[in-house]
Structure 1
Amino acid sequence: MDRHEDERMAFDFSLRIMPNAYASFQTMSGMANMRQKTHVALDGNDDLCLLVHRGGHPIQMRLHDRRHGRDEVTVGPGGPAHLRGNEERYSAWSLESHSQVICVSRAQITAAVGNLDHALDNGVPQSAALDLLCGYARTLASDIGPLGGEALLQARKTLTDLFILAIGPGRDAMEATKDSARAAKLARIKEDIGNNLAHPDLSLDWIAGRHGLSPRAVRDLFYASSANFTDHVLAARLERAHQRLCDPRLAHHSITAIAYQSGFGDLSWFNQAFRRRYRMTPSEVRRFGPAAPSA
Structure 2
Amino acid sequence: ATSRRHEDQPMTMQSPDITGFRFSTADFGERDRLPSFREQIGRMIVKLDPEPLSAGAFHAEANVRELPGLGIGSWACSNLKIARSRELLDGNDDLVLTIITSGNTRASQRGRDIELGPGQAVLQSSAEAGNMAVPVSPSRFVGLRLPRRALASLVRDPEDMLVRPLPANTEAMRLLALYIRELDDSYQLATAELRRAVVRHLVDLGALIIGANRDAVAAAEDGGVAAARLAAVKADINDNLSYGDLTLPAVAARLRLTPRHIQRLFESVGSTFSEFVLGQRLARAHHLLTDPRHSGSTIGTIAFEVGFGDLSYFNRTFRRHYGVTPSDIRAVPRRS
Same fold at TM > 0.5: yes
* Offset at residue 291 of structure 1 (A): 11
| Stretch moving more, 282-291 or 169-178 | 282-291
1:148 corresponds to: 190
Write the letter of the residue equivalent to 1:267. L
- The separation in 1 between residues aligned to 2:295 and 2:212, in whole angstroms, is 52
* Offset at residue 6 of structure 1 (A): 0.9
- 1:246 matched to 2:321? The reply is no
> Residues 121 and 25 (structure 1 numbering): CA distance in 2 closer, same or farther, change over 3 Å?
closer
SS across alignment from 2:162: helix
Write the letter of the residue equivalent to 1:90. N
Q: Which one of 107, 110, 118 corresponds to residue 160 of structure 2? A: 118
Contact 2:97/2:144, CA 8 A, preserved across alignment? yes
Contact 2:95/2:124, CA 8 A, preserved across alignment? yes
1:29 corresponds to: 78
* Offset at residue 24 of structure 1 (A): 2.4
**1:25-174 alignment runs, 5 A limit:** 25-40=74-89, 43-56=90-103, 58-63=104-109, 66=110, 70-77=111-118, 80-86=120-126, 87-95=128-136, 96-126=138-168, 127-140=170-183, 142-149=184-191, 150-174=193-217
Contact 2:308/2:314, CA 8 A, preserved across alignment? yes
Contact 2:244/2:308, CA 8 A, preserved across alignment? no
Aligned alpha-carbon RMSD (Å) = 2.1
| Stretch moving more, 5-14 or 254-263 | 5-14
Q: Which one of 22, 29, 51 corresponds to residue 2 of structure 1? A: 51
Q: Which one of 269, 272, 285 corresponds to residue 225 of structure 1? A: 269
SS across alignment from 2:307: coil
- The separation in 2 between residues aligned to 1:162 and 1:207, in whole angstroms, is 22
Write the letter of the residue equivalent to 1:230. S
Write the letter of the residue equivalent to 1:166. I
- The separation in 2 between residues aligned to 1:291 and 1:215, in whole angstroms, is 45
1:198-235 CA distances to partner (integer Å, 9 max, x unpaired)? 12441001000001011111112111221110111001
Contact 2:93/2:147, CA 8 A, preserved across alignment? yes
Contact 2:172/2:209, CA 8 A, preserved across alignment? yes
Contact 2:175/2:228, CA 8 A, preserved across alignment? yes
| Stretch moving more, 226-235 or 249-258 | 249-258
Contact 1:48/1:104, CA 8 A, preserved across alignment? yes
* Offset at residue 145 of structure 1 (A): 4.9
1:114-163 CA distances to partner (integer Å, 9 max, x unpaired)? 231332252321222222222212222x3215322222222111111111
2:226 corresponds to: 182
> Residues 119 and 207 (structure 1 numbering): CA distance in 2 closer, same or farther, change over 3 Å?
same
Structure 1 unaligned blocks of 5 or more: none
* Offset at residue 264 of structure 1 (A): 0.8
SS across alignment from 2:185: coil
* Offset at residue 15 of structure 1 (A): 3.6
1:137-194 CA distances to partner (integer Å, 9 max, x unpaired)? 2222x32153222222221111111111222222332332222211110111001111
Structure 2 unaligned blocks of 5 or more: 1-49
SS across alignment from 1:133: helix
2:15 corresponds to: none
Aligned-pair identity (%) = 34
Contact 1:102/1:137, CA 8 A, preserved across alignment? no
- 1:196 matched to 2:240? The reply is yes
- The separation in 1 between residues aligned to 2:175 and 2:84, in whole angstroms, is 29
SS across alignment from 1:102: strand
- The separation in 2 between residues aligned to 1:115 and 1:90, in whole angstroms, is 22
Higher relative contact order (CA 8 A, sep 6+): 1
- The separation in 2 between residues aligned to 1:288 and 1:104, in whole angstroms, is 48
* Offset at residue 71 of structure 1 (A): 2.1
- The separation in 1 between residues aligned to 2:88 and 2:159, in whole angstroms, is 23
- TM-score, normalisation: structure 1: 0.88
> Residues 128 and 5 (structure 1 numbering): CA distance in 2 closer, same or farther, change over 3 Å?
same
